[in-house]
Amino acid sequence: MTPVGQRRLRTDAVHPPHLATMAVRVGQSPDLSDIHCEGLALTASYLFEDAEDAAEKFASRRQGNVYIRFHNPTTAAFEQRLAAMEGAEAAIAVGSGMAAYLTIGMALFKAGDHVILGDGMFGTTYRLFGSYLDRFGVASTVVDMSDLDQCKAAIRPTTVMMVLETPTNPVLQVADLSALAGWAEEHGILLTVDNTLCTPVLQNPISFGADLVVHSAGKYIDGQGRCGGGIVAGGGALIERLRDVLRAAGPSLSPFNSWILLKSLETLPIRMRAHSEHAQKIALRLQAHPAITRVYYTGLPNHPQHDLACAQQTGHGGLISFAVSGDRVQAWRVIDRLELISNTTNIGDTKSMITHPYSTTHGRLPPGQKAEAGITENMLRLSVGLEDPDDVFEDLSRALDHSRLQAVDSRIGSADAR
């Protein structure tokens, strides 16, 4: 079959073409069928076979690409690949992780509905629900997701969905996916799981009964800190409803970002294994360091939910949090003494990155809520990259030793003053 574009695109339609016509029409080959690497379809619109074809596709009576806002072959390839990896029927890519939540909200909620949110989620998710969806009449309640009784108590006749993250960031609390999915099904509410931290490589929420899976694709899926993106995977009928929102409201992903993310999925399995392996080594060594009072990592046997994490994840990922002895001053001092690890608030990059959640990612939370979430002033969050873990630890260890020595110095100093 002749590709549509090849039959329709003619450079000899006028004799001879003028320069401006040649500038626009010569050299365009839409047939990419023999390229080996997935193609990047940078196009805003698509050629139709004939007038009828356009009408049929516009009316969704015939499958095919119509317009960039809701169709792109590179984006479709990313969606199909991620859906397959999550064990989902379908997926829809959008401009960011937050756009994924917004699209879910617009597709599936109406004024008067109620949503239950797990605790410890990405801060902006609460902001979207509390400051925006709330204004459109969608109420939400935050519960301790490890306490099924609290979930049961929060349910209302208008509850339509529970949304949670597991493990959470930065305190790495784990939700029991089977128990929560069973409970949600019993009450006829949808369960949405944010799988950004584990990716489909380490955890498949759908296999435990989740209805929708959300990713901030710019984290581990991209894995190299190059772009933003979001994607939702789930049943075909639900994803179709989200796609209608994409067409009506347009929180679309750029095809260029789709291409990056599509190609990134190819290395995601080996990257996630390496992130997990490096983080495990570093977590064990941090635990033994005298300047550290606590390490949060689900791969450590003393993590309170280690067994649950092992039962539903095939690895523990690249995120570690730890508390240094002292307060904010000591924690900041560690950041400022690092020479290899980057001081930046992202996660899921090949480069190791550190942040002080109390004053950055969670800085806008009132102190009471920080305490409730377990985010202390002496806590640091490390996103372990793919550098040699010995080098990452050496950098950390040097900064920790320095911070500890300074703390000892200042204690001696204050004793002298007395």
Ligand X SMILES: *Cc1c(COP(=O)(O)O)cnc(C)c1O
Whole-angstrom Cα distance, residue 61 to residue 322? 55
Residue nearest to ligand X (CB): 97
Reduced to 3 states, what is the DSSP secondary structure of residue 313? coil
- As given in the structure block, the two tokens for residue 343 are 């001081």
**194 near ligand X (CB under 6 A):** yes
Whole-angstrom Cα distance, residue 173 to residue 175? 7
Please state the closest distance from residue 44 (CB atom) to ligand X, in A. Answer: 23
**Cα 208 to Cα 153, 161, 184, 313, distances in angstroms:** 23, 16, 12, 11
- Tell me which H or E stretch contains 191: strand 190-194
Task: Write out the binding residues for ligand X, residues 152-171 only, by CB under 6 A.
Answer: 165, 169
Contact pattern from residue 263 through residue 292 relative to ligand X, giving x for each residue in contact according to CB under 6 A and a dash for the rest: ------------------------------
**196 near ligand X (CB under 6 A):** yes
State the residue for tokens 């102190």: 367
Which residue in 41, 90, 98, 162 binds ligand X (CB under 6 A)? 98
Q: Which stretch binds ligand X (CB under 6 A): 117-125, 310-318, 378-386, 388-396?
A: 117-125
Please state the closest distance from residue 208 (CB atom) to ligand X, in A. Answer: 18
Task: Write out the binding residues for ligand X, residues 120-149 only, by CB under 6 A.
Answer: 122, 124-125
**97 near ligand X (CB under 6 A):** yes
Please state the closest distance from residue 346 (CB atom) to ligand X, in A. Answer: 8
Q: Closer CB to ligand X, residue 103 or residue 403?
A: 103
**In 87-235, which residue ranges form alpha helices assigned H by DSSP?**
97-108, 123-127, 148-154, 177-186, 199-202
Whole-angstrom Cα distance, residue 227 to residue 365? 27
**216 near ligand X (CB under 6 A):** yes
Please state the closest distance from residue 345 (CB atom) to ligand X, in A. Answer: 9
- DSSP classification of residue 131: I
**204 near ligand X (CB under 6 A):** no
Determine contact, residues 101/94, Cβ cutoff 8 Å: no
- DSSP classification of residue 190: E
Determine contact, residues 102/77, Cβ cutoff 8 Å: no
Reduced to 3 states, what is the DSSP secondary structure of residue 257? helix
Burial class (CB in 10 A: 0-12, 13-18, 19+), 178: middle
Which residue in 205, 230, 234, 299 binds ligand X (CB under 6 A)? 230
Q: Which stretch binds ligand X (CB under 6 A): 38-46, 51-59, 118-126, 353-361?
A: 118-126
Which residue in 225, 228, 251, 299 binds ligand X (CB under 6 A)? 228
**105 near ligand X (CB under 6 A):** no
**219 near ligand X (CB under 6 A):** yes
Please state the closest distance from residue 383 (CB atom) to ligand X, in A. Answer: 10
Q: Which residue ranges make up the site for ligand X (CB under 6 A)?
A: 96-98, 122, 124-125, 165, 169, 194, 196, 216, 218-219, 228, 230
